[in-house]
Amino acid sequence: MLQYENDFIWNKDVNITALMDDVYQKLVTEKESKIAGYYTLGEDSLPLVDHVLENSQTNRYIQQSDTIVVIGIGGSSLGTKAIYSVFKHRYKNAKRMLFLENPDEIDLYEKLASIEKEKTIFIVVSKSGSTIETISIFKEIISRFYLNYEQQDRERIIAITDFDSLLYKFAQYYKIKVYTIPDNVGGRFSVLSAVGVVPLTLAGYDMKSLLSGAATMANSFFEKKENHLLEKAVFLTSHQKEYPMNVVFSYANCLEDFTKWYVQLWGESLGKINKNAQHVGLTPIGHIGSVDQHSFLQLIIEGPRDKTVTFIKLENFEKNIKIPNISLKFIEKADYINGYTFNELIDGECEATKESIIQQGINVDEITLDRLNEKNIGKLIMYYELLTSLCGKIFNIDTYNQPGVELGKQILLKKFN
């Protein structure tokens, strides 16, 4: 279960109800016209889970593996990595997952040194099929591990890409297993497609429950039962000039990669030139509580009043570790927390931080997960994807393209030619 609350201070001239109704209808139209296909992935991807499980039963390389290597960057890896980071502590018998994203030679060297070819499945993920970082790392893997992709090693390689992309053609030519991403699902919205479903299912994670959670959120929204999403989108966009930054404080270490996924989703989708030739967007800032509140909170409280703050809080960590009833000489002032659990401590810090921010007149909202399970994370993923689309509609932009990123790719191409 997810719970939501906010302490927004509205401008009086914002017609909240009219904007909410208008943007809701725009998303309904977008869904029905299939401009964006992520809305139904919670249901559409269920048969894919069964297909992957069936294939794994007949592939001896998968049966013998203990590691899944995901080669991808941005939307091809961030969502998958976020889910893995949330649940890896619970899945003791799952296969290890390794993410090769950045062409950082130090990081790449260390990760490649930990790979044992005979126990590894390599999954190369690129929506376009030609992402330069991904294909370059894939080439290094082929060279380093003498990966014979033309014959016996083809069964330890999986490609995930758009239908008929260059990577798709490569995989088809060499009879490598390939899964496709729906044409109307952008990379940063693709975690609930083959991009996330295939590697996480192969690793042993319960993707059906996660997809079920995502479907529940999407269906509930389109049944008009999630008006808090509409309200939040209207508030953030209508107050963009006053509060151009949204800070997310996730109060659980395992949500760090989820927070990074949010940063990409928010930044790449909403930072655009709109149809009125205006530069629009909301700058995403991701932090982990209580660690980062010891640095960034000062800026929020006494710095420029140009931010909204979202708290993501976990109600039950399910470990029940108590702070020992020990009094340390000279440090007795810390004894007030003795006997409480660490869960109670981090929850108290979250609430105290939120209250201190509200007292300063800063706009705050909170998402509470009652516990860390697949359905809740599926709901949370769909929550942020829906929120992104809503904001994009109000901004009057194409939420799903990324011309700014493409410009950088064109410049890089010229540098090496």
pLDDT digits (tens, 9 = 90+) for 192-216: 999 999 999 999 999 999 999 999 9
Quick one: 42 and 153 in the same domain?
yes
What is the predicted pLDDT for the residue at 379?
A: 98
Q: 72-102: per-residue pLDDT in tens? A: 999 999 999 999 999 999 998 999 999 999 9
Q: 41-55: per-residue pLDDT in tens? A: 999 999 999 999 999
Q: Which residues are catalytic?
A: 268, 294, 409
Residue 409 has pLDDT above 90, yes or no: no
CA dist., res. 247 & res. 354, Å (int): 12
Q: 145-198: per-residue pLDDT in tens? A: 999 999 989 999 999 999 999 999 999 999 999 999 999 999 999 999 999 999
CA dist., res. 14 & res. 236, Å (int): 12
Residue 408 has pLDDT above 90, yes or no: no
> Model confidence at 319, in pLDDT bands (50, 70, 90)?
confident
- Last-in-domain residue among 142, 177, 205: 205
Q: 330-341: per-residue pLDDT in tens? A: 999 999 999 999
Quick one: 19 and 107 in the same domain?
no
Domain with 52 in it: 38-205
Quick one: 166 and 298 in the same domain?
no
Looking at the chain, the whole-number percentage of residues with pLDDT higher than 70 is 99
Quick one: 324 and 261 in the same domain?
yes
Mean pLDDT value of segment 354-380: 96
Angle at 59 between CA 56 and CA 61, to 5 degrees: 105
Burial 219-254 (b: 16+ CB within 10 A, else e): bebbeeebebbbbbbbbbbbbbeebeebbbbbbbeb
Quick one: 26 and 91 in the same domain?
no
**Average per-residue pLDDT for the chain:** 95
What is the predicted pLDDT for the residue at 15?
A: 85
Quick one: 27 and 109 in the same domain?
no
Residue 121 falls inside a structural domain: yes
Quick one: 201 and 83 in the same domain?
yes
Question: Based on the structure, what is the number of domains in the chain?
Answer: 2
Residue 407 has pLDDT above 80, yes or no: no
> Are 326 and 348 contacting, i.e. CB atoms less than 8 angstroms apart?
no
Distance of CA 139 to the CA centre of its chain: 27
pTM (whole model) above 0.85: yes
Quick one: 163 and 225 in the same domain?
no
What is the predicted pLDDT for the residue at 226?
A: 96
Burial 362-381 (b: 16+ CB within 10 A, else e): bbbbbbbbeebbbbbbbbbb
What is the predicted pLDDT for the residue at 395?
A: 96
Question: Which has the closest alpha carbon to 192: 157, 224, 163, 216?
Answer: 216
CA dist., res. 309 & res. 263, Å (int): 14
